[in-house]
Amino acid sequence: MLETYDSFQTDVAVSILRNLDESNFRVERKVIDFIKGKLFPVSVERISEYIRKMPSETVRDQIVENLRAFHSTLMEMITFVSNENARQNENGRQTVYLPLIKMMDKETHPYRPLALATLCCFDFSEAVTKLAIDFERFGSEMRWITLVLLKKRWDEKFVPIFLKALDDKDPEVVRVAILALKRANVLAALDPIRKLLKSSVEVIVLTAVNALVELGSVDSLTELRQLFNNTGNQKIRATIVSALGELGGPETVSFLRECLEAPDSRVRANAIMALKKKYETFGCLPEEIVARITDLKDDSDHRVQADSIQTLWAMGYTDNVGDIEKMLVSPNEFCRSAGAYLCGKLKLFQMTRNLEVLTSDVSWMVRKMAAISLLAFGDRGKSVLRNLMNYGSSDQQIVCAFAFGLADDSVAIEKLLLQSRSGSEVSEMATSLLLGLSRPPA
């Protein structure tokens, strides 16, 4: 998909270049730099190579992130050319869109859906109409890509397209449609989304449950409870438990208490956090529930342990620093990572040295969490990170640069870029972290 989009944007840029006034060297340079990939922090080839090595469950999100980055850069380039043309020629603004319009008008053009989506984002009403009419005719990959791009550049005019996509035969297309309608708080989507709770596809059900929470659909409580009782899918059950932390009132507390005894650790953990939200809403919880949450500090699952400590802390029971220290030295990397997370989440400044040590942990997951938690300590944490970024081991330098990258530190981002493009042994990790930044570097 990324390679297809790259071919599309290159075709558009080449066509724009051919239509340019030869005297406009500034614009010509911008378009040439775009074609050569100089406007992108990492090349498509490098990203594709990296993604092919990723676990399958993380590929989708990485593709989405990069598609949107590519699309945003394409739109910025087109806008730049359009504005520059308009300065020289009153009618020059529209000429930059001609390659896209030609693709749109040719029904058999392989890039027509991408052209339509791009024109929609530039507020071409004709493109919106044609996309709504022809959406179902596109292949599933193109249906998915167009929704991903439209979701990022949301406009109320896109609602009919997304509502139609709720009935799509491709679960991933349905998922993106739900996410878009949820984000835009489209109440007309409530009933169609509630019907999706009966879907046999896990990802659709999970996305629908979360959307109903975002849309504040208290009317869905009965259906959610029925689904919890009828499904054998523990992931769906855990997601419903989490939803009940947001929806409903005191009547859901007893059900959540029962879930603290669930055999599945995800259900137990989500029940703890749902009860934390009930506490934050109502100001108290029954003593018996507090006692059970306290017992779960010794649960066999790291997430249950961390969530119980965090919830007790929120209720004023802060005598559990010793439990966190035990997590930080656990032989289980997930437990160490969870402990590091708690240090940052609870602002445990006394754990600064512990986190500094963990930035050289054998697990990169632990190193990353330790660095991010130090970032949560403000200037004090940043001082530690800066020192490690300059004088620490290679692993420490990269992970601390990543943390600074999240804080939009241009020097740290540049360090990641340099390491990513080098042939060193940390190149793969640097690329991984670079691709995980909150937004693409400028």
Angle at the Cα of 379 from the Cα atoms of 374 and 381, rounded to 5 degrees:
20
Distances 273 to 98, 238, 301, 309 between C-alpha atoms, Å: 53, 11, 15, 10
Which amino acid type is present at position 237?
R
- What pLDDT, in 10s, does the model give residues 154-213? 888 999 999 999 999 999 999 999 999 998 888 889 999 999 999 999 999 999 999 999
pLDDT tens for residues 378-413?
A: 899 999 999 999 999 988 998 888 888 777 656 655
In the predicted model, what is the mean pLDDT of the chain?
A: 88
Residue 320 lies in a domain: no
442 has pLDDT over 70: no
Max intra-chain CA distance, the chain = 79
310 lies in some domain: no
State which residues form the domain around 1.
Answer: 1-139
User: Is 164 part of a structural domain of the chain?
Assistant: no
3-state DSSP assignment of residue 186: coil
Q: Mean per-residue pLDDT for 102-127?
A: 94
Strand, coil or helix: 270: helix
Rounded CA gap, 112 and 125, in Å?
16
Q: Where are the alpha helices (DSSP H) in 155-286?
A: 159-165, 171-183, 190-195, 202-214, 221-230, 234-246, 253-259, 265-282
Q: Express each pLDDT in 226-235 by its tens digit.
A: 999 999 999 9
What pLDDT is recorded for position 91? 59
21 by Cβ neighbours in 10 Å (0-12 / 13-18 / 19+) ranks as: middle
Evaluate whether residue 393 is within a structural domain. yes
Residue 361 has pLDDT above 90, yes or no: yes
pTM of the model: 0.78
CA distances from 36 to 9, 33, 43 (A): 11, 5, 10
Number of domains, the chain? 2
Which of 139, 154, 180 is the last residue in one of the domains?
139
Task: Examine residue 123 and state whether it is found in any structural domain, yes or no.
Answer: yes
Burial class for 30, CB neighbours closer than 10 Å (0-12, 13-18, 19+): buried
Dihedral (CA of 238, 366, 310, 407) sign:
negative
Both structure tokens of 237: 């059950």
Q: Stretch 52-56: mean pLDDT, rounded?
A: 79
- The fraction of the chain above a pLDDT of 70, given in percent, is 90
- CA distances (Å), 219 to each of 215, 216, 310, in order? 11, 9, 30
Instruction: Give the Cα separation of 99 and 13 in Å (integer).
Output: 9
Residue 66 counted as domain residue:
yes
325 in any annotated domain: no
Domain boundary among 139, 159, 176: 139
- Residue 379 inside a domain? The answer is yes
> Of 105, 121, 139, which marks where a domain is finished?
139
Q: What is the pLDDT of residue 83?
A: 87
